[in-house]
A and B are shown apart, each in its own frame.
Chain A
Amino acid sequence: AQKVTQAQTEISVVEKEDVTLDCVYETRDTTYYLFWYKQPPSGELVFLIRRNSFDEQNEISGRYSWNFQKSTSSFNFTITASQVVDSAVYFCALRGGTGANNLFFGTGTRLTVIP
């Protein structure tokens, strides 16, 4: 069974602070894929990143960085120098390597960046 846990329901930070969003996953597949999506107040889901289970190299994209740790089944997301435009709900998702191709989403973390 696939499962994604985002224990942080809501986080508030002051602009320019760094913030880390946690994601813990469960899967029995040896090959799997992890994703992060952003859902701003407008409601759409914006793809941020995909990671496969063979690639544990951390990734940085501008102010965003992702830390993938297979040993702890975590795929955490850090925003550096947060901005008000980062305010959104962030979803972590998992797709198994076999069977269905759908994404299993966590419950999301609502990030509010206070100016």
Chain B
Amino acid sequence: DARVTQTPRHKVTEMGQEVTMRCQPILGHNTVFWYRQTMMQGLELLAYFRNRAPLDDSGMPKDRFSAEMPDATLATLKIQPSEPRDSAVYFCASGLPTSGGYEQYFGPGTRLTVT
């Protein structure tokens, strides 16, 4: 049963600290998405990669957020420095392009709390 995995599942950190979230996409999926879920904004796209290349990161605050895919089995989302408003659940999703568009399979999320 192939799944997207994310680590850590929960992270509590102090304002100003660096946070790194990791995602392992489903083997063979060539597209990875990062979403953020908050009560106020709902689910919103931060960035996505295809074949490890960033295709769209317009939803991501560039001054503090960065997303990378160092290899096909790992995607990272980094926040430096973190702020209380970054508190949210961060989801990674992976997918394959099909004639019907991507069926995106989501990981369990990383719940981030910045105090």
Residues of A within 8 A of B (CB): 33, 35, 37, 42-47, 50, 52, 91, 93, 95, 97, 100-103, 105-108
User: A102 touching B42 by the CB < 8 A rule?
Assistant: no
Name the distance in Å between B28's Cβ and chain A's nearest Cβ. 16
A100-B56, A102-B56, A105-B42 known; A95 vs B108 contact (CB < 8 Å): no
**Which of A44, A50, A52 is in CB contact (< 8 Å) with B107?**
A44
B66 CB, min distance to chain A CBs, angstroms: 18
In the assembled complex, which residues on chain A have CB atoms less than 8 Å from the CB atom of B100? 33, 50, 52
Taking a contact as CB atoms under 8 Å apart, the answer to whether A101 and B89 are in contact is no
By a CB distance below 8 angstroms, the chain B residues around A47 are: 103-106
Query: How many residues on B have C-beta within 8 angstroms of the other chain's C-beta atoms?
Result: 26
Most buried by A among B44, B59, B100: B100
Nearest CB of B to A58, in Å: 17
| Contact partner, B101, options A37, A95, A106, Cβ 8 Å | A95
- Assess whether A52 is in contact with B101, with CB atoms less than 8 Å apart: yes
Residues of B close to A101: CB separation below 8 A: 31, 48, 50, 55-56, 97, 101-102
Other A-B contacts than A43-B108, A47-B106, 13 sampled, CB-CB below 8 A, are A35-B104, A44-B109, A45-B106, A47-B103, A50-B103, A52-B101, A101-B31, A101-B55, A101-B56, A101-B101, A103-B33, A103-B43, A105-B42
Task: State A52–B45 Cα separation when bound (angstroms).
Answer: 21
Query: Do A44 and B48 have beta carbons less than 8 Å apart?
Result: no
Q: How far is the CB of B78 from chain A (nearest CB, A)?
A: 20
Contacts of B102 in A (CB 8 A): 95, 101
Separation of A105 and B106 alpha carbons in the complex (Å): 14
How far apart are B113's CB and chain A's nearest CB, in angstroms?
A: 14
A46 to B85, CA, bound (A): 26
